[in-house]
C-alpha cells in the first residue's frame, strides 16, 4: 500500500494532540511569519530546522543548533525558498546522550528498533541496534517488559498504533534529567489510514473545518481554517501566518471582530489544485453567510518563494465555478499581494473579476497592508 510522508512540524502537531500537551515549536513559512520570533527569549538558545522530507538534514547544513532568535531569523531569511519552504524553531534541549527508537509495520508483525547509539551517526552503529518483533495482538508490549525503557517505548508505541502509522522514527531521542525527549521525528502513514482520520482535529466541528483539516494534513503546504462567525461579512483568505494576524487586527479595526467569517491562512507554496480546493471551500462558506455587502479578501505580504501566479490560478478556478452566485450576491473581492510572478497573477485575477462582472479592488505592493480597504470604504 502506498505510504504518505509527513514533515516534522506536522508530526509534532499530531503528537501534541495525541498527548494533549503543548507544541513548543514555531513554524515559519513566509517572511511575514518571522515576526513571531520577536516573542522568543533573546537570552535562550534554540534549534532551527528546515522542515522538509529530506533525510540527513544535520549533515546537509539544514539544521542550526544553539542559536538565538536573531541568528535563527538570519538563517531562515537566507534560506527560505531556496533550502526549504518552511522552517521550525524549537527550544534547545540540553542532553549528554542520544538514543534511537523506531517502529515499523511489517507483514504480520510490528518491528521495534532501539539503540543507545543514536543521532547523526546511527547508520554507522547499526551493530548496536536492538530489534524486537511484536505480535499485532501484543499492544501492551509484554515481550519488552524487562527493557529499561519499557514504559517510554510503550507510550510511543501507543502513539504509533493510535494514529495508524506505518513507520515512526525518533532520532535522536535525548536522555535528559527529565527523561527521554524526542528531538526529531520521521513518519510515514498508510494512505488508507490518512483518509480515515487525517490527524484527528479535535477542534474541527463544522463540515468546512473538517474538510480543510483533511486537506491541510494531506498537503505539504499549510491550509488552516477556524470558523468564527458563519454569518460574517469579511472572509479573509490570507497567505502566510504572520499576514493573517496583521489582517485579522486590521479587519477587526475597520469592520469589527464579529464581522469576520473565519481565521486562517494558506502558506508553504501550495499547488494549484490545493489552492483551488481551499479557495472553493472558503467561497462556498462565504456564500452561505446571511451578511450583506460581503467581502472576499485575497491578500498577503511579499512572498519570498510562493508563486503568486500559481496560487491565483487555483483561486480563479474556484471563483469561476461560483461566479454566478458571487455576482448575484454582490460580493466584492479585494486583492493585495506581492511576490514571485505577482504581476502575472494580479493581472490574471483582475481580468477574470472584470470579465465576470464581480466588483473588485486589486493591488500589488504599491498599497501598504493598512490601506487595503481604504478605496473600498471611500466608495461604500
> Tell me: the pLDDT tens digits for 127-167?
889 999 998 887 789 888 999 999 999 999 999 998 888 89
CB 234 within 8 A of CB 243: no
pLDDT of residue 278 exceeding 50, the answer is yes
Q: Work out the average pLDDT over 257-285.
A: 90
CA 354, CA 362: separation in Å to the nearest integer?
A: 11
CATH topology of domain 97-182: D-amino Acid Aminotransferase; Chain A, domain 1 (3.30.470)
Any idea where the domains of the chain sit in the sequence? 18-91, 97-182, 201-379
CB 96 within 8 A of CB 175: yes
CB 268 within 8 A of CB 220: yes
Residue 155: predicted pLDDT: 94
SS3 295: strand
Give 220's pLDDT tier (boundaries 50, 70, 90).
confident
Residue 205: predicted pLDDT: 56
Phi, psi of 165 (to 5 degrees): -75, 145
CA 108, CA 222: separation in Å to the nearest integer?
A: 35
Express as a percent the part of the chain with pLDDT over 90: 52
Q: Can you state the percent helix, strand and coil of the chain, rounding each to 5? A: 40, 30, 30
Residue 242: predicted pLDDT: 78
More confident site: 204 or 311: 311
pLDDT of residue 199 exceeding 70, the answer is no
Q: Give every CB contact of residue 378 below 8 A, 6+ residues apart in sequence.
A: none
More confident site: 180 or 85: 180
Give 99's pLDDT tier (boundaries 50, 70, 90).
very high
CA 227, CA 83: separation in Å to the nearest integer?
A: 34
Beta bridge partners of 169: 102, 186
Q: Is 108 left (phi over 0), alpha (psi -120 to 50) or beta?
A: left
Q: Give every CB contact of residue 43 below 8 A, 6+ residues apart in sequence.
A: 68
Is it true that 18-91 and 97-182 share their CATH fold? no
- Superfamily of domain 201-379, CATH level 4: Succinyl-CoA synthetase domains (3.40.50.261)
Q: Which CATH architecture has domain 18-91?
A: 2-Layer Sandwich (3.30)
Residue 163: predicted pLDDT: 84
CA geometry: angle 352, 222, 287, nearest 5 deg: 45
Beta bridge partners of 281: none
Residue 39: predicted pLDDT: 84
β-strands 46-50, 63-67 pairing: antiparallel
Residue 137: predicted pLDDT: 80
Q: Work out the average pLDDT over 276-282.
A: 94
| Per-residue model confidence as pLDDT tens digits over 341-380 | 999 999 999 999 999 999 999 999 999 999 999 999 999 7
pLDDT of residue 194 exceeding 60, the answer is no
Q: Work out the average pLDDT over 175-187.
A: 92
Mean pLDDT check: name the lowest of 68-72, 77-81, 329-333: 77-81
More confident site: 39 or 371: 371
Give 198's pLDDT tier (boundaries 50, 70, 90).
very low
Radius of gyration of the chain (CA): 23
Model's pTM, two decimal places?
A: 0.54
Mean pLDDT check: name the lowest of 215-219, 265-269, 288-292, 308-312: 215-219
β-strands 359-363, 63-67 pairing: unpaired
Amino acid at each position: 500500500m502506498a505510504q504518505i510522508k509527513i514533515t516534522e512540524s506536522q508530526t509534532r502537531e499530531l503528537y501534541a494532540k495525541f498527548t494533549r500537551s503543548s507544541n513548543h515549536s514555531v513554524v515559519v513559512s513566509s517572511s511575514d511569519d518571522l515576526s513571531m520570533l520577536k516573542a522568543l527569549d533573546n537570552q535562550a538558545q534554540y534549534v532551527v530546522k528546515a522542515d522538509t522530507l529530506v533525510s540527513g538534514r544535520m549533515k546537509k547544513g539544514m539544521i542550526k543548533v544553539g542559536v538565538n532568535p536573531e541568528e535563527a531569523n538570519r538563517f531562515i531569511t537566507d534560506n527560505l525558498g531556496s533550502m526549504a519552504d518552511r522552517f521550525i524553531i524549537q527550544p534547545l534541549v540540553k542532553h549528554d546522550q542520544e538514543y534511537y527508537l523506531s517502529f515499523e509495520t511489517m507483514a504480520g508483525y510490528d518491528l521495534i528498533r532501539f539503540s543507545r547509539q543514536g543521532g547523526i551517526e546511527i547508520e554507522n552503529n547499526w551493530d548496536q541496534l536492538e530489534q524486537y518483533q511484536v505480535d499485532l495482538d501484543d499492544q501492551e508490549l509484554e515481550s519488552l517488559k524487562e527493557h529499561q525503557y519499557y514504559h517510554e517505548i510503550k507510550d510511543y508505541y501507543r502513539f504509533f498504533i493510535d494514529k495508524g502509522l506505518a513507520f515512526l522514527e525518533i532520532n535522536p531521542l535525548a536522555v535528559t534529567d527529565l527523561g527521554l525527549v524526542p528531538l526529531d521525528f520521521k513518519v510515514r502513514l498508510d494512505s488508507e489510514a490518512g483518509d480515515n482520520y487525517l490527524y484527528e482535529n479535535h477542534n474541527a466541528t463544522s463540515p468546512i473545518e473538517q474538510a480543510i483539516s483533511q486537506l491541510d494534513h494531506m498537503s505539504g503546504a499549510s491550509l488552516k481554517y477556524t470558523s468564527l462567525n458563519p454569518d460574517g461579512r469579511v472572509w479573509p483568505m490570507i497567505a502566510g501566518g504572520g499576514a493573517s494576524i496583521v489582517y485579522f487586527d486590521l479587519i477587526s479595526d475597520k469592520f469589527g471582530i464579529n464581522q469576520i467569517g473565519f481565521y486562517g491562512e494558506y502558506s508553504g507554496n501550495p499547488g494549484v489544485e490545493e489552492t483551488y480546493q481551499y479557495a472553493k471551500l472558503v467561497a462556498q462558506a462565504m456564500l452561505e453567510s446571511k451578511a450583506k455587502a460581503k467581502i472576499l479578501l485575497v491578500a498577503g505580504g511579499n512572498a519570498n518563494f510562493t508563486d503568486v501566479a500559481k496560487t491565483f490560478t487555483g483561486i480563479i478556478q474556484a471563483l469561476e465555478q461560483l461566479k454566478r452566485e458571487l455576482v448575484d450576491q454582490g460580493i466584492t473581492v479585494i486583492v493585495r499581494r506581492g511576490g514571485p510572478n505577482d504581476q502575472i497573477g494580479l493581472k490574471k485575477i483582475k481580468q477574470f473579476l472584470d470579465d465576470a462582472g464581480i466588483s473588485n479592488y486589486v493591488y500589488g505592493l504599491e498599497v501598504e497592508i493598512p490601506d487595503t480597504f481604504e478605496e473600498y470604504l471611500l466608495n461604500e
